[in-house]
A and B are shown apart, each in its own frame.
Chain A
């Protein structure tokens, strides 16, 4: 269980996150949503302990107190950055995820995990290629495979904490769905998956729990149906919102923007102004 108590983060005298508290059970997928600058990434980083020791505990233990290498075996983070300052092969990048697990030489198990995670993220076919030669979406999948590889342990079935900051970046629709399916599957094995994401409809379809942030404050937390309310979203995003039922999934479907009633009120034609 991830327990966050009363954490606040201020950067350069600006309050980014204000007195945030939450209790999150493992074995679920949690989506953090909210407009730009709401403090989503900051919350993720605060959970990781990037802003010094905070009141965050994972299974009753503050990850900040652990040796960095031990902490890395329990929680992995996919950030939004996927550039590499020097070139490596795809295989080598995924192997980096295994670094907390071996000292000098990767074990047979480490190689096996790398193979398995590359297969999971469908990057095995270009395992030997250079990372810099890949497209943005392919790079994103390689990074995700690396993060998955970091949390695999041969004999330890402790629940893990997986934090992902906009993992759907650069992915095409097919891979967006595939990744979310993988994450749901991973969560079902008893781990806690926390995703910062922007696509509310995908979040609605896959998340077990949601957090809606606005101006560094927790606006609403709860199940998908509790959080995705027309008035809450309208306030958070400053856009007209309509919520309907998804035609074939049991989840809400969100439509943003002004409704245009074509017959009654046709769009005014743009008039070109001449100077």
Chain B
């Protein structure tokens, strides 16, 4: 075996152990405090999702999918949720959805401001960038160890792991979006006497929105991946049914769990992608478009393309 003698092995494992032990001993109140808001939001979302009748949820996703990503995606979302219901995985799917909604909400609430700071300050970005690199290259399993040590096991620590794992894309793409705002738009704002804040609200953020929405989409997909893995630390949801299926060598249960995850992931991906597209196209068409107008446009195939208005 090509292995150094034991006396040459550096005690890095011990160092990690000591650091985590020290964190657990000394910083426990801090981590418990961090846990609190996440637990609150998760409970609220989860209560809501589980109290809604399933036909209402299906109708909701059908309409949201249709309005954001077109009628075909709307139907796809609706059918997906119907399938999930008929596979007997409704409760697990709602648990997964609650985890995702909570995790993505926190990622956006924390990640977008961090991305804005990064986009406005080269120094901050220089510090942040290697951190994000490490976060994104760290395998998802590895997150579980410190999370279990610091927060324990269960759904809430799972959500925390998901948040940490899936935050980098929204930070990166917010930063990118802000840096790609055309210089002349910024200059125009400046020349009309915009304050830094006014420029952010009126110019930078709206113009960076398509990029930010792409970031939210990517973050959601990362969270989707993680929400399955966190079943190993006892988080509820579709991942748990896959894990149980594997554990019991029950290919059928693992299979439908996997299928439900895929359906859920594609539905949410389409919806968030649709939102991103919308933010890109918002200014290409006449804004207030009635429901009837949409139908009419779809039927005649007429569109408000810029060229036809010259």
The answer on A and B forming one complex is: no
Q: Which residues of A contact B (CB under 8 A)?
A: none
